[in-house]
Amino acid sequence: MKLAIAILLVLIVVTFASADILSVKNNSVEIRDSSNPYIAQVVLVVPQNYPLSLVEEDGEYYKVSDFMGREGWVKKADIGPGQTVVVKVSRGNIRKGPGTGHHLLFRAKRGVAFRVLERKDDWLKVEHESRRIGWISRNLVWGEG
């Protein structure tokens, strides 16, 4: 019995650790409460480059969740693989280089999405949809893909 519980716990951890991260391809995407287009209601609208974790599939739709655990359904055509992150803290510092010793360029609020351009240790070089580029600590973001 203890062995079965241990195996189940390992499977749960591996499942969550290997969750597929997808990214919004279009300017914005509506996340709906159902995969049925005739009854679905919009529950959330997310911007381009917003990372989403794949939960399940149903025909032309993916069930996804975001960094806050909010779930819903999106058309498969609207999202795809991509290296993106979203700020998960109240404000994230975007710096000129990878490290706290580099000049602060700007701050991004919680929920702001970025495309990942490069990685260096625990830092990500990111680009905002406004074309602003800088470095942010991996500890401040969720996603990647």
Output the CA angle 71-73-79, nearest 5 degrees.
Answer: 105
Residue 5 has pLDDT above 60, yes or no: no
* 19-28, 77-86, 133-142: segment of lowest average pLDDT: 19-28
pLDDT of residue 54: 97
CATH fold group of domain 84-144: SH3 type barrels. (2.30.30)
pLDDT of residue 15: 38
Which of the four CATH numbers 1.10.260.40, 2.30.30.40, 3.30.470.30, 1.10.3720.10 does domain 21-80 have? 2.30.30.40
pLDDT of residue 9: 41
List pLDDT tens digits, range 76-115: 999 999 999 999 999 999 999 999 999 999 999 999 999 9
Longest dimension (CA), the chain: 56
| Residue range(s) occupied by CATH 2.30.30.40 in the chain | 21-80, 84-144
Identify any residues that bridge with 22 across adjacent strands, giving them in sequence order.
Answer: 52
